[in-house]
Amino acid sequence: MSTTAARRLGGYTLGALVFLAVLGVWELWAGAANSPVVPKATDVAERAWEEWPTPDFLSEVGQSMKRYVIGFAIAAAIGIALGLLVGASHVARRTLDPFLECLRAVPAIAVAPAALVIFGFGDASRIVVIAFGLCFPILVNTAEGVRGIPLEVRDTASMLHVGRVERLARIYLPAALPSIMAGLRFAVSLGLVLVIVSEFVGEANGLGYYLQVKQSLLDYPALYAGILFLGLLGYMLNRLFLVAERRLLAWHYGAAGE
């Protein structure tokens, strides 16, 4: 086994041991507290085993993931496009920066009431909240990636009379890709938060609604099982994104010696 593989295996083993240790502490603490609002880890695991495979729970997951994927895709398209424009053009930066900074300061949850009024209580309003909250991390990282391109590269492109569209597609976008991927990775985790928050109001479906129902029914093991599912889902999405990022940016990690 190579040194790198052994190091990775050691990291995974240590991570698993820490996770098990946390579960052990939770089990002991909940047993000592003997409180209905703090169920034991074993009770939560048993409830998860009962709930997660059911059609009702999987339906809620499907509703949430549909909104997550659509909101993420919209945010990525808008964030990358505006980020390239703001990063590449001084005129666009001076024109749009004040407006974008004002919007960036608005919490996504504050947009929810207006989205409900304009788009109704269906999926559209929830997707708007998700896309709004995810757009700015992607936009900022994209713009910073473009701004970080050396002046020599920009000057060479100007001297060769490279068109603006070609410059964006063949120079700015590839050079900013590592920064763009960093913004997208941040959005992967943030997206789950926004999905849950957006589902606290509106149509009666989704994981956010599921958590509200379990809380109202005082079904705390199911409530914690739902939270645990979100944590595991976020972990899996992040790992899948890292695999895709490693493949897409193989040239970048190779140049960096990683």
pLDDT tens for each residue of 205-217: 899 999 999 999 9
According to the model, what pLDDT value does residue 196 have? 92
**Residue 206 DSSP class:** S
- Is residue 96 situated within a structural domain? yes
According to the model, what pLDDT value does residue 106 have? 84
According to the model, what pLDDT value does residue 238 have? 92
According to the model, what pLDDT value does residue 95 have? 86
- Is residue 80 situated within a structural domain? yes
pLDDT mean over 5-27: 76
More confident residue, 59 or 28: 59
Q: Given a cut of 70, is residue 198 above it in pLDDT?
A: yes
According to the model, what pLDDT value does residue 161 have? 67
Least trusted range by pLDDT, from 38-42, 129-133, 161-165, 236-240: 161-165
Least trusted range by pLDDT, from 79-83, 87-91, 111-115, 225-229: 87-91
More confident residue, 239 or 2: 239
- Is residue 33 situated within a structural domain? no
Q: Please report which confidence band the pLDDT of residue 155 belongs to, taking 50, 70 and 90 as the band edges.
A: low
Cα–Cα distance measured from residue 241 to residue 176, given in angstroms and rounded to the nearest whole number: 18
- Is residue 130 situated within a structural domain? yes
- Is residue 104 situated within a structural domain? yes
Structural domains of the chain, count: 1
- Is residue 18 situated within a structural domain? no
Domain holding 159, by residue range, is 40-255
CATH number of the domain at 99, please.
Answer: 1.10.3720.10
pLDDT tens for each residue of 93-119: 888 888 888 888 888 888 888 888 888
Q: Where are the alpha helices (DSSP H) in the chain?
A: 3-33, 41-51, 55-88, 90-104, 108-119, 123-147, 151-159, 164-167, 173-198, 207-216, 220-248, 250-255
Q: Given a cut of 80, is residue 193 above it in pLDDT?
A: yes
* Cα–Cα distance list, 225 to 149, 174, 180, 216, 243 (Å): 46, 41, 34, 15, 27
- Is residue 17 situated within a structural domain? no
Q: Given a cut of 70, is residue 8 above it in pLDDT?
A: no
* Cα–Cα distance list, 97 to 92, 117, 139 (Å): 8, 28, 11
pLDDT tens for each residue of 36-84: 788 888 888 999 999 999 999 999 999 999 999 999 999 999 999 999 8
According to the model, what pLDDT value does residue 3 have? 64
According to the model, what pLDDT value does residue 5 have? 60
**Residue 90 DSSP class:** H
Residue pair 248/181 in contact by the 8 Å Cβ criterion: yes
Q: Please report which confidence band the pLDDT of residue 229 belongs to, taking 50, 70 and 90 as the band edges.
A: very high
- Is residue 20 situated within a structural domain? no
**Model pTM greater than 0.75?**
yes
> What's the mean pLDDT when you consider all of the chain?
85
* Cα–Cα distance list, 159 to 38, 84, 147, 168 (Å): 67, 21, 19, 16
pLDDT mean over 18-29: 84
pLDDT mean over 179-205: 89
